[in-house]
Amino acid sequence: MDNQTMNRKIKLTHKLSPEAKRNNNPSRAWEVLFQKYNIVSQIEHQGYFDIKTSQMMRNSDVRKLWNEKYTNTIPDNRNILKFDFSADLPNIFKAYKLQIMPLGKDTYRIAPFNMYCNLTDEEVPIHPITSPIKISSLDFNKVTTEPNAQTVAEITGMFAYILVDCKFNPNFLTNWST
């Protein structure tokens, strides 16, 4: 985000359809945090709001606000900061079209930028790759977790193929042969 973008004043409007609403602890937690730190007003004034983990759910004032509103267990910071998909965003982020991005060790920036890419379904040719080694603890036909997928991609050379061999050819997917 450049200085001109960060320094402009914006007016945020709250719009969220009922079907987009999620009734979960991250949404509740962020409602409390937005209330505590007047985040919408801060973003309207300076274009963004930076928050430290020490200001989040283990902060005594935030805990007090949480306990005034909710009876369920207060969520951990790590659980309110993980949004793999735009649909996972807390209600208040979706309603104001805000995103959150890590800036460093314990600081996050909330602003109206786009952190997600819309994916489209496309038919692409399959390029079979086999593993040069046999690992008995990993079934290459049943890769169901992200760490396993990363291990398979490294062992089989997929990372090297995509990131090195194909980096100079922007149309590498269309040039694969089966």
Q: Looking at the DSSP assignment, which residues form a beta bridge with residue 49?
A: 110
7-48 pLDDT tens trace: 556 777 777 666 667 788 999 999 999 999 999 999 999 999
Q: Which of 89-93, 115-119, 126-130, 164-168 has the highest mean pLDDT?
A: 89-93
What mean pLDDT comes out for the span 121-148? 79
SS3 107: strand
Is it the case that residue 159 has pLDDT exceeding 60?
Answer: yes
Nearest 5°: phi and psi at 109? -110, 130
Radius of gyration of the chain (CA): 21
Residue 25 structure tokens: 């602890």
Confidence at residue 17, expressed as pLDDT on a 0 to 100 scale: 67
Report the distance separating Cα 15 and Cα 44, nearest Å: 16
Q: Are 112 and 12 in contact (CB under 8 A)?
A: yes
